Amino acid sequence: MLNIQEFRKKVRALPDLLNIAFMVGQYDFVKGPYAIALQKDGSLLSGFRFSGPDLESMSVNNINALSGTLNAALARLGSGWSVHITSIRYPANGYIPVEDCHFPDPVSQLIDDERRGQYERESAHYLSEYYCTIAWQTPPDAETGMSSAIVTRPHRKKGQSKGMGFESIIGKYRQTFENILSMFSSRCKVVPLDERNLLTHLHECLTGDRHPVNPPHVPAYLDMLIGHHDFVAGLEPQLDGRHIRVVTFIGYPQDGFPEILEGLSSLPFPLRYTTRFILLDPADALPLIDKYRKAWFGARHTLGSQIGAQFTGEASTSTSEDTEAVRLAFDAQQAKADASSGMVRFGYFTATVVLRDADEKVLLDRVKSVESYLNNLGFVAKVETTNAVEAFLGSIPGHTWENVRRPLMHSANFVDLSPKTSVWAGSERCPSPLMKQSENLAPALFYAATSGSTPYRFNLHVGDVGHALIVGPTGAGKSTLLALMAAQWRRYKGARVIGFDKGRSMYALCEAVGGAHYDIAGELSDLTFAPLAGINKSQAERVFAEEWLEAACELQGMTIRPRERDVIHTAIEGLSQEEGRSLTDVRSLLQDEQIKAAIGFYTGMGRTGTLLDARTDTLSMDNRFTIFEMEHLLTGTDQAKLTTGPVLLYIFHRIEQMLDGSPTLIPLDEGWLMLDNPQFLAKLAEWLVTLRKKNAAVVFATTSLSHLAKSPLLPILKESCPTKIFLPNAEATSQDLLPMYRDMGLNDRQVELLQTATPKSDYYVFTPDGHRRINLAMGPIALAFCGVSDPRDVKRIAELKESYGQQWPVAWLRERLPANRQDWVEYAKRMFEM
């Protein structure tokens, strides 16, 4: 006979253990929409993802301000409220996908292959994300009102009691949640969790799987949606074949400090660290605190000393008191005062670290690492066994009944023990929509190393602005960074690099990738410019020519008034009909002796020779990697400024003409300082806007912070360059330089990082998106092309180029690479033969 009773047993499954029930709705907020979920115990739940500042970059005052703000946010809550703050450490994606790289030459491809190999040979890389979820246990009188969210009663009479009322319940919750969200956003970057992201977060906390979970059309039975997994309970629970271990804190160090557990976000394996705080109103907390106070106060004397005092008739002396009990009684008394002040809230605190892996041996090794880390900090850590399932469930956002640790703690300590700072890893994708490749955003410019096992993805762009400023002393690695940027920029489809170099730092790279290298005003250079050659082609060219002549005259000390403009205009109009259109030609048409003298400086009869006095350009902008060597042009001081300004004005005009929306990088090494003249300020600001719209990124670099601080260009650069990169500087904290760094936006802690950083290795990236000290981790191949500027090396490259032609980089690597890296030479040879 069939035993049907067996099939009617009420067996509990994983969904039965979960608290989530259904979605109430999604609500708009200035930071983005957020969802509110109703749970089985009648509580409401919402959350947000946040990214705190970089701890390494924070001063003590910054840390205290962050903790104070978050504590003030929680102090608004009381009984019925609970908070989960969660740090999820997960494996980072691999190196930039090959299909996203479009290197057009063997050398730039070779440099990236070396960096790819370095990244993949390193230990696994991990990233961390941070979440805060807030639950409110609605009061009992709200139950009838909450039922209206589930059941509609069309025949309810107007004015009939609805308990507290659904709208008022949701309104109260929304107001409190949005206030906390606003306070968090004053110190951290926050993204509210909409329905999809809230479910995704709960599912990830439960399973460890990182994939989106879409809400159903009817947003009910959500426990089934996220809980449809095989779960084995017991002392050593498993979920979907992966072993789970939960490490709970049962003891705390005597002295704590903010971010004491920040190191959990640097461990080289996946984990989830969750802190939960079940808040209490002062009226509820004070009796509990007083109970502790009385207990410890009564424990000051041992039973023996109290009996002895009864027999002798003498009160126990202070010397016979238990000093630890006295201290704890005093702490409890102070806690009463803190609770009464309203500056903090007391509640029940639980902290857990959840680890999981299919390989139990690997998992146990990780558990030991976490235990060791916590114990070394003075915590007492316990690996849960009989309480494992309850501890695991209690770590899931919205679960407040399981694994409640009874000792009270106040909100300031909860904030100190919760994850709230982050290691900024940069963006995996370039944020500029102008850099899109097909339908996807372009990849990051390059990967670098940072602390722990967290990778760093470097982007020049903040939004669609790619302009950047590099500041640091001579010999700190500025030129190497510029060269690496140029080499890695080649990964973008149709990329173009137009660089302004000083000291041939980019000569090796330019020649290796088949670029065009122009040594302006060099002894062997035949480069000449014809700034007026195109005036017969368009009105726009004639306007440029007039403005260029006016700027040249101003550099000679002239004041350009309407009369002088008319003279220049007449000459340009007349010259546009002539065959010859050089400066000498226009000089003969100028009807003003002072203007003639000023322009004469730039003609073949003047100090600049024929550099600017050609009738046709020898400059070609067809090559997609073009470098202008400026060192010879910058020789001298006053002469350099008089010449460099007009040269750069003309080259920038040529650049503007050929920009077509292709990704264009324009590194300016030192030569831009010659533009720090008042008459160029408006033009430079205009250029930066125009170049941004045409997908060009200008990178300014200087070794003189003092020069920059006095330059009229500084306000424009600070405003136009959201990305700033500071190089190591042993004198950064000196009385002369410290105010300059502060003016650039750095705090004292960040300046200290520059002082202790390693030259030619460390770089400090400072953007509105985040701050981080990084290491370029350049291998010998990258250094062979990006770290070369010695005159002997430049001469050797020229010799190899003469002997081997386009394959000279293979011979160069054979000479530069150590014996254990010679296999790269054969690999490079094959690449050139393809």
Read off the tokens for 607: 């100090």
In tens, the pLDDT along 707-722 reads 888 888 888 899 999 9
Task: Report which DSSP code applies to 186.
Answer: T
Q: Which residue spans within 673-750 are E strands per DSSP?
A: 696-702, 723-726
C-alpha–C-alpha distance, residues 774 and 761, integer Å: 8
The letter for the amino acid at 81 is: W
C-alpha–C-alpha distance, residues 754 and 769, integer Å: 19
Which candidate, 714, 679, 683, places its Cα nearest to that of 700?
A: 714
pLDDT at 310 over 90: no
- Torsion angles phi and psi, residue 441, rounded to 5: -65, 150
Residues 6+ apart with CB under 8 A from 229: 14, 206, 207, 239, 240
C-alpha–C-alpha distance, residues 496 and 506, integer Å: 15
pLDDT at 260 over 70: yes
Long-range contacts of 297-300 (CB under 8 A, 24+ apart): 297/325, 297/329, 299/325, 299/329, 300/325, 300/326, 300/329
pLDDT at 268 over 50: yes
Could you tell me the pTM of the whole model?
A: 0.88
- What pLDDT is stored for residue 600 in this prediction? 92
Q: Which residue spans within 178-224 are E strands per DSSP?
A: 189-192
Q: Taking residues 291-295, report their average pLDDT.
A: 57
How many CB atoms are closer than 10 A to CB 661? Answer: 11
C-alpha–C-alpha distance, residues 522 and 520, integer Å: 5
Task: Report which DSSP code applies to 216.
Answer: P
> In the structure, what pLDDT confidence band is assigned to residue 295 with cuts at 50, 70 and 90?
low
In tens, the pLDDT along 166-195 reads 889 999 999 999 999 999 999 999 999 999
Which candidate, 767, 660, 758, places its Cα nearest to that of 724?
A: 767
Bridge partners (DSSP) of residue 779 are none
- What pLDDT is stored for residue 42 in this prediction? 92
pLDDT at 381 over 60: yes
pLDDT at 411 over 70: yes
Residue pair 669/444 in contact by the 8 Å Cβ criterion = no
Burial tier of 3 (Cβ tally within 10 Å: 0-12, 13-18, 19+)? exposed
- Torsion angles phi and psi, residue 754, rounded to 5: -65, -35
In tens, the pLDDT along 821-832 reads 999 999 999 999
Q: Taking residues 787-807, report their average pLDDT.
A: 94
How many CB atoms are closer than 10 A to CB 815? Answer: 10
- What pLDDT is stored for residue 156 in this prediction? 47
pLDDT at 796 over 60: yes
Q: Is 478 helix (H, G, I), strand (E, B) or coil?
A: helix
Q: Per mean pLDDT, which range of 277-286, 465-474, 825-834 is the poorest? A: 277-286
The letter for the amino acid at 25 is: G
Residues 6+ apart with CB under 8 A from 578: 585
How do 271-279 and 346-357 pair as beta strands? antiparallel
- What pLDDT is stored for residue 395 in this prediction? 96
Read off the tokens for 819: 């014996």
C-alpha–C-alpha distance, residues 809 and 832, integer Å: 9
Residue pair 749/52 in contact by the 8 Å Cβ criterion = no
How do 346-357 and 408-410 pair as beta strands? antiparallel
Q: Is 128 helix (H, G, I), strand (E, B) or coil?
A: strand
Q: Is the dihedral of CA 378, 187, 131, 42 positive or negative?
A: positive
> In the structure, what pLDDT confidence band is assigned to residue 784 with cuts at 50, 70 and 90?
very high
How many CB atoms are closer than 10 A to CB 367? Answer: 20
pLDDT at 702 over 50: yes
pLDDT at 565 over 70: yes
pLDDT at 666 over 50: yes
C-alpha–C-alpha distance, residues 781 and 171, integer Å: 62
Q: Is 625 helix (H, G, I), strand (E, B) or coil?
A: strand
Q: Is 23 helix (H, G, I), strand (E, B) or coil?
A: strand
Read off the tokens for 91: 């494996």
How do 664-669 and 496-501 pair as beta strands? parallel
Supply the Cα-derived Rg of the chain in whole angstroms: 34
C-alpha–C-alpha distance, residues 467 and 820, integer Å: 39
How do 346-357 and 242-251 pair as beta strands? antiparallel
In tens, the pLDDT along 568-584 reads 999 999 999 888 899 99
- What pLDDT is stored for residue 165 in this prediction? 77
For tokens 């805060």, name the residue: 132
Q: Per mean pLDDT, which range of 195-199, 510-514, 555-559 is the poorest? A: 555-559
C-alpha–C-alpha distance, residues 751 and 161, integer Å: 63
- Torsion angles phi and psi, residue 292, rounded to 5: -65, -40
- Distance set, CA 208 to CA 88, 204, 205, 309, 381 (Å): 9, 5, 6, 61, 22
How do 242-251 and 271-279 pair as beta strands? unpaired
Q: Which residue spans within 653-794 are E strands per DSSP?
A: 664-669, 696-702, 723-726, 762-767, 770-775
Q: What is the pLDDT of the chain when averaged over all its residues?
A: 88
Q: Is 819 helix (H, G, I), strand (E, B) or coil?
A: helix
Q: Per mean pLDDT, which range of 46-50, 315-319, 465-469, 698-702 is the poorest? A: 315-319
In tens, the pLDDT along 17-31 reads 999 999 999 999 999
For tokens 């403009």, name the residue: 565
